[in-house]
Amino acid sequence: MPSLDHTYSMEEFLVSLYNRLDSENTSKQAEVRQSLEVAERLLYEQGPIVENQRKAINIIATHQINGAMDKVRVPLWYIQDQQVHYDHHLVDQVQQKTYSTSTIFQKIPQGFLRIATNVLRYDGSRAVNTYIPSYSPVAKAVEHGKMYQGIAFVVNDWYATAYKPLFIDGKIKGMFYVGIKEPLSGIEGNFLNDEHGDIINILSQLFYKNQSSSSTVISELIHMLYSQENKPGGNPILTLGLKQLIILLIQARGKGGGHTGHRDYQLVSRMTYIGQYIRFNLTSDLSIESLAEKAHMSQPTFFRVFKSYFGQTPMEYINRERVQKASELLKNKEKSVTDVCFEVGYNNASYFIKQFRMYYGLTPNQFRKKYPVTNLSRGH
């Protein structure tokens, strides 16, 4: 750890680092505004969101900060007869056309629930069924019909963001998000040199008394951070330190598996695992029998729990994952439709085309013409 004799030089360094990050974030916010325009255009082209109060699903919603879980029942949303929940095609289009992640949120009593997203958890899975609490500055702004634009905490990191209300029948029923990760997460690789050492060690001098990784501490730190950023003449070292400390605490909790006394935690863990297993093993045996065995459940219990958790039967979910993966592979013109068919787990091209058309309203070849190849090598 750097000696206390170097505290002043460290402060100068951190102030300089903060100013550089602040300048980069100003540039990123301009990118976010452009991304929002692209997202709004794509959403408009898809058609209006329709809410069907007669069709609803039960969801176990997870607080994005403290991990608390609540069972909620939400009405299904549709765009041109296509279910919005867990359909990531639109948000993935935004990501392919811009540098931004994006999310569709649905309003619930606890806040705003992610129902389609390409924001990822630490395990690499999409952060669906997580929610932003109603007391957050983002939720408060949107509930008053205002757009929130600025730095916000998104699942496990800080992003330059824009959140805009989604109106259905004249009422705020959700919101749409676009965001670009702050460069803070890349501080060590991009900005630090041997003279200043490890940013974690520098910050540990400022926050060495904070040993708790409890959700309460994280929530309080985030609240403090928002207050600090909105305060005229705020302390840049404190702002920078709070952001990094929050990330470190969230990471520590994530690596440790977290802790919750909620009775549904084990169920959520099993369903999360099954969802990931399906996603990464589309060509494997995905029968109800094999999946139920992996979840350590009887087949009837597995079927019931799966449908309650995902809002779809296992086969509907598997077909959705396969055709969504196919939509990505079709952007590679070197792959034939038959190649894609087998690569996503189908063994019959006619059945694959039928499922693809049911999902997208287009055949694979029509889809390929409508959504030409984009530059998939761009990162954020």
Per-domain residue ranges of the chain:
4-21+190-255, 25-183, 265-370
Q: Is the pTM of this model over 0.75?
A: no
pLDDT tens-digit readout, 145-200: 999 988 788 887 778 899 999 999 999 999 999 998 876 544 443 443 334 334 44
Strand partners, 130: 62
Spell out the residues 6+ positions from residue 32 whose beta carbon is closer than 8 angstroms to its own. 100, 149, 160, 161, 162, 178, 179, 180
Question: What's the CATH superfamily of 265-370?
Answer: Homeodomain-like (1.10.10.60)
H/E run at residue 107: strand 101-108
203-213 exposure pattern, b = at least 16 Cβ within 10 A, e = fewer: bbebbeeeeeb
Phi, psi angles (nearest 5°) of residue 154: -120, 100
Q: Tokens representing 129?
A: 């069924």
pLDDT score for 17: 59
Local mean pLDDT, 10-residue blocks, the chain (380 residues): 48 60 70 91 91 87 81 90 86 88 96 93 81 90 92 82 94 95 54 40 44 51 57 53 57 48 58 81 91 90 84 86 87 89 93 87 85 46
- Round to whole Å and give the CA distance between 86 and 95: 16
- Round to whole Å and give the CA distance between 25 and 180: 9
pLDDT score for 333: 82
- Round to whole Å and give the CA distance between 95 and 379: 9
Considering the four listed CATH numbers 3.40.50.1000, 3.30.450.20, 3.20.20.70, 2.60.120.200, the one that applies to the domain covering 25-183 is 3.30.450.20
pLDDT tens-digit readout, 206-218: 444 444 444 555 5
pLDDT score for 52: 92
